[in-house]
Amino acid sequence: MSKIVGIDVGGTFTDFVFLDAGKIRILKLPTDPENPGTRIRAGLDQIQAESNVRIVHGTTIATNAILERNGAITALVTTAGFEDVLELARQQRPELYRLNQTRLEPMVPRELRFGVRERTNAVGETLIPLKSEDIDEMIETLAESGAESVAIVLLFSFANLNHEREIEARLRTALPDLDISVSSQLLPEYREYERTATTVANAFLSPVVRRYLEDLSSSIGDRPISIMHSGAGLSDLKTASREAAKLVLSGPAAGVIGAFDVGQRAGLPDPVRILSLDMGGTSTDVSLCEGRIPVSPNTVVGDTPIRFPAVDVHTVGAGGGSIAWVDDGGVLRVGPQSAGSLPGPACYGLGGTIPTVTDANLVLGRMLSEHYLGGSKTRKLNSTLSEAVFEEISKRLNLSIIDTALGILQIANATMERALRKVSVARGYDPRLFTLIPFGGAGPLHACALATSLNIREILLPVHPGVLSAVGLCLADTVYTRSLSILKSLVDLTMDSSLLVEKEEMLASEVSEYFSNSGQKATTTWSADVRYEGQSHELILDIQAPSDHEVLSHLEANFHRAHEKEFGYSLKDAVIELVTLRCTGRNSVESFDFQFPTDRSSIERATATSHSIWFDRTGPMETPVLNRLDLESGTTMTGPALITQPDTTILVEPGWEFETEESGLLRLSKKRGSRENG
């Protein structure tokens, strides 16, 4: 098999996984947000990655740029009269009863939205022609605006793209240095607001992502590189720069791939049912998988809808670096602010002065001071610093340091529990039927408490939980998806299938061209967004190739069944519409097996054999300390136990028992007779 390095850049740590002939090397380095390329180059040197290894990379650059509004100066060119679509949005109130609703500023200010006189109707007929003098006037104003990037989004351009193409051509000639995103190329689908928001986000991100990837490319030398996109697949650098909005869930998508692979390797019964919990330093990402990795046709970042395929992940501001604070009412809060990698938690010794979740774990004995940060021998965790920053907040709360630390963990756990319930209970899934797979640097510390609160009776710990997202990058396929809106009833398409055949050929050609340009072969799958006529929402159904003469009759029957399952009823006599057709190409990655443990010679062992840990207010409990590298296959033990390894610490709470498996996985089970929560 080929050599491959997965690099996952998080808010606190940058993780490296080097797979070579079944052997695995791992490394965690503090993230350097100012010079990520420099840190990546240093990590590749430390992990001894040769010049011929393939790099796969996950990044938060796109997500951070949207949330922090630090993308490019962006303009919008749209049909005259539709300049305010971005602000009108869908008129939905995120918090229905909150009187002072707040929203992020639009990525394009009002003065940078330019309307041009033109009009196309819903079926693509030109009602008002686009005049050359109107384009000239717009270009002159745009040239003086200071915009670095522009989004072109005209009404109903998914049905007729000629006007958008004309504007694009004129802009590229007049302003060759301007980044241009065109909605009919990026997202030829109906729904004006979502198409506008997605194209604007892409224009806002493209210059930022392009500069980041150029710096990354220069940092890794001649090594080939692929970038993880939100849809749980890889893309090349050129595509990632051009379709930058597809990177908004780059990192979290890789974690779900890794967690689902763990469930499959563990031999869980079909369909594999897992709840993934990725708790890093800044946030926690959760996802529910039932037999497959869930991919939605869209996602929302901040308040911006991104209408590109994305792994169904829910994110909350609870991580190891989440800051504890007291609000004006004297109530203890945790997050969403994070200490990040610099200064980080107080125990890092880098100048942090505010208690965090990591500090609380250390104060309660749930981490060892001697447990080296990220496996590094140059830095230890400083429990004295953690205790010092708890003094002030404890006085404000009139609590002891121990009670304050316990309270911080309870609040952080409650935030993560709500997230897990949102992707399970709120959607009709019983979490008791699922296996929890915690990962990230902090996930294994909180897994037992969360599983207990949800009455989950089984937890699977991956071989390297702290770097599982980087492992997931190495497991990812190359995936490319194209879509087109159809907006025709199944009856009409049955009577005349020429439109469907035409769209199929167009999409298949675009997907085929993408893979042939990179010398890859791909398998193709199809899906359709379908609804009853008059509905404003669709269900996504897998279909055979649209030209298959039986596909529409099968689609009708399958849609009735899916609607019945999802909503409890179906309308057998209602007209069914095929809204959007979607084609996905996939080039599957070479499968591999890797064994645990890694090279043991360079690993520092825990020197303690037991440790006092506070699990609740009743007092500390003397707890065995084990090194995971020393646990032989078949080892079983009843908690409590503290298990250390280079990339994380695992806390087995009282009432739980664990067993090490031959594959290296650690399986935790709720001890028989233990009382369920609630």
Question: What is the structure's pLDDT at 602?
Answer: 36
Confidence bin at 36 (pLDDT 50/70/90): confident
Residue 184 has pLDDT above 60, yes or no: yes
Q: Which helix (H) or strand (E) holds 202?
A: helix 192-220
What confidence tens digit (pLDDT) does each residue in 456-473 have?
999 999 989 999 999 999
Per-residue CA distances from 218 to 222, 250, 458, 460 (Å) = 8, 21, 45, 38
Beta bridge mates, 582? 483, 527
- Tell me: pLDDT of 29 over 90: no
Query: According to the model, what pLDDT value does residue 89 have?
Result: 87
User: What pLDDT sits at residue 607?
Assistant: 47
Q: Tens digits of per-residue pLDDT, 483-513?
A: 999 999 999 998 888 888 899 999 999 999 9
Instruction: Give the per-residue pLDDT at 378.
Output: 54
CA-to-CA distance for 145 and 134, rounded, in angstroms? 17
Span 558-582, average pLDDT? 94
Average pLDDT over residues 562-573: 92
Mean pLDDT lowest among 28-32, 91-95, 611-615: 91-95
**Whether the predicted pLDDT of 678 surpasses 70:** no
Residue 599's pLDDT is what? Answer: 41
Q: Are strands 113-116 and 74-79 parallel, antiparallel or unpaired?
A: parallel
Read off the pLDDT of residues 327-343 as tens digits, 9 standing for 90 and up. Answer: 988 999 998 888 877 78
Mean pLDDT throughout 644-664? 92
Query: In the predicted model, is pLDDT for residue 106 greater than 60?
Result: yes
Asked whether 209 and 262 are in contact (CB, 8 A), the reply is: no
Per-residue confidence (pLDDT) for residue 412, from 0 to 100: 95
Tens of pLDDT, residues 581-599: 999 999 987 766 655 544 4
Q: Considering the chain, what is the average pLDDT of its residues?
A: 90
3-state secondary structure 388-425: HHHHHHHHHHCCCHHHHHHHHHHHHHHHHHHHHHHHCH
Q: pLDDT over 90 for what percent of the chain?
A: 66
Q: Which CATH architecture has domain 4-65+210-247?
A: 2-Layer Sandwich (3.30)
- Ramachandran angles phi, psi of 57, nearest 5°: -135, 135
237-to-157, 206, 473, 519 alpha-carbon distances in Å: 27, 12, 15, 15
491 HSE (CA, 13 A, CB side) = 6
Give the predicted TM-score (pTM) of the model.
Answer: 0.90
The answer to whether the peptide bond before residue 462 is cis (omega within 30 degrees of 0) is no
Backbone CA torsion sign across 340, 30, 459, 652: negative
Across the range 561-581, mean pLDDT stands at 93
pLDDT at 539: 92
pLDDT, tens digit, 9 for 90 and up, residues 340-365: 777 889 998 889 899 999 999 999 99
For 264-275, the pLDDT digits (tens) are 989 899 999 999
Identify the H or E element spanning 18: strand 13-20
Residue 444: predicted pLDDT: 96
Mean pLDDT on 98-117 = 88
What local confidence, expressed as pLDDT, does residue 359 receive? 95
What integer pLDDT is reported at residue 411 of this predicted model?
A: 96
* Residue ranges covered by each domain of the chain: 4-65+210-247, 67-197, 478-587
What integer pLDDT is reported at residue 646 of this predicted model? 86
- Give 356's DSSP letter: B
